[in-house]
Amino acid sequence: MLGISKKIETASQIDDQLVLPFDRRQKSRLRVVLASGSEAALLLERGTILRGGDLLQADDGRVVKVVAADQPVLLVQADSAEGLMRAAYHLGNRHVPLQVGTGWLRLEQDHVLQEMLLGLGMRVSGELAPFEPEAGAYGGGHRHGHDEDDGPSIKPPARLRKHD
């Protein structure tokens, strides 16, 4: 079985892919199957969270690119920036992992949270999409240049914008 224990920053070529949903990308010790069908053992530093686009180097030198798998998520939108901030506040108060985009929030599907958000006046829809939540203020997270915020844009109210 192929061993993978090292994260790397760059590579001249990609030899395989590892497609995982977020809950499995949070585990540092994991048996996986690569896109090629090869079995591998992830033996990463404890606390490692893999992000889509991360590069891993196998013990035999092969480079494996991590791909965030599509998974069931809730897309949350609001009629105003204040409404979306209110939703983010209530979700954060419950320590819910959130992906934040321009004019939208994304979280793992949860019917109780969906009802709460609908009660707050949010538009909530289920979708299959990669889930890349914020790493947190102390998480050392990062974004890749190819990550896109493809949700609708909501301009903050004038009283919240900086004056030129």
Please tell me the distance from the alpha carbon of residue 39 to that of residue 2, in angstroms, as a whole number. 6
Which residues 6+ apart lie within 8 Å of 109 measured at CB? 72, 73, 74, 126
Closest by Cα among 80, 83, 74, 73 to 153: 80
Closest by Cα among 142, 127, 148, 22 to 76: 127
Q: Please tell me the predicted confidence (pLDDT) of residue 156.
A: 47
With cut-offs at 50, 70 and 90, classify the pLDDT of residue 135: confident
For 70-130, CATH gives 3.30.70.790
For the chain, the domains span 2-68, 70-130
Whether the CB-CB separation of 2 and 64 falls below 8 Å is answered with: no
For residue 94, how far is the Cα from the chain centroid? 18
The dihedral built from the CA positions of residue 148, 150, 151 and 154, taken in this order, carries a sign that is positive
Token reading at 36: 């090629």
Which tens digits make up the pLDDT trace of 43-52? 999 989 999 9
**Percent of the chain scoring above 70 in pLDDT:** 82
Closest by Cα among 135, 128, 129, 127 to 51: 135
Neighbour tally for 56: CB within 10 Å: 22
Q: What's 2-68's CATH class?
A: mainly beta
- Mean pLDDT across the chain, nearest whole number? 88
Report the number of secondary-structure helices (H) and strands (E) in the chain. 3, 10
For residue 13, is pLDDT > 90? yes
Which tens digits make up the pLDDT trace of 77-119? 999 999 999 999 999 999 999 999 999 999 999 999 999 999 9
